Amino acid sequence: MKDASHYIHHGLADATLRNFQTFMPEFTTADQQMLLHYCEVRKFPKKAKVVQAGEVDDYLNRVLTGRVRKYVRVHKREQTLQLATEGHVVHSELSFLTRRPSLALLETLEPTVLVSLRYDKMEVALEKFPHGERLGRLILTAMYIKKDERRYSRASKSLRKFFLDYRAHHPHMLQRVPQKYLASYLNIKPETFSRLKHLLYRRRRETSG
């Protein structure tokens, strides 16, 4: 299998480097090439299961292109936990880190390309890579902060403000992700979601008029 370093000329390198440098300034192009040797590129069609419930998730993924939905089945309902898009990290954290069967499922919403680091290769990279442990810690910290910010944001804002802020930060999600998944992810009832969307159109009309 080709490792991800073959994709260095496909825009992957620049984006990845910028991403790493935001939390580790001394991260170099050479470091990055070395790290990409440990990674692989995985391609999925639309509606493919990246991780099934009950299966151990072996990969830490970063979305290169496409959309991935992470969710959990609750009785007959599906609760969306994450909607990942270009540049986002997505996997089943609990399963990956504890090596136990996953409760969460990962499914593509569009044809999707992931840059993935397999668990056993990550362990080698942590050992061999010059700042492996440090990079690992910083990636985990960044993931923690993102989730914490989202939970804090939901708890501290009105529903209306939360929705408008989400829309402002993720302008494409409303077009590219089915409404029911967005509503579930944002923990908003589908009826309320429609009403909030209506609010956006009214605002737009008012501004243009």
Partner 1 sequence: MEPCILIGIHKGQLEDLYHSDRKWEKFGRILTAHFLLQQEWQILNDARFSPRERFLYFFEQHASLLHRLPQKYLASYLKIKPETFSRMKHLLRKNHKKTNAGT
Residues that bind partner 1 (CB under 8 A): 72, 74, 79, 81, 93-94, 97-98, 103-104, 126, 133-134, 136-137, 140-141, 143-144, 147-148, 151
CB closer to partner 1 out of 141 and 179 = 141
Which tokens is 14 given?
């620049």
CB closer to partner 1 out of 22 and 202 = 22
Q: How far is the CB of 194 from partner 1 (least distance, A)?
A: 22
* Residue (of 57, 14, 16) closest to 35 by Cα position: 16
Taking the C-alpha atoms of residue 33 and residue 45, their distance in angstroms, rounded to an integer, is 27
Q: Is 111 exposed, middle or buried (0-12, 13-18, 19+ CB in 10 A)?
A: middle
* Residue (of 31, 47, 41) closest to 7 by Cα position: 41
Q: Quick count: other Cβ atoms within 10 Å of Cβ 182?
A: 23
CB closer to partner 1 out of 72 and 173 = 72
CB closer to partner 1 out of 3 and 123 = 123
Q: How far is the CB of 131 from partner 1 (least distance, A)?
A: 8
Question: In Å, how far are 3, 17, 74, 129 from 30, measured between CA atoms?
Answer: 16, 10, 45, 11
Q: How far is the CB of 92 from partner 1 (least distance, A)?
A: 9
Q: How far is the CB of 27 from partner 1 (least distance, A)?
A: 15
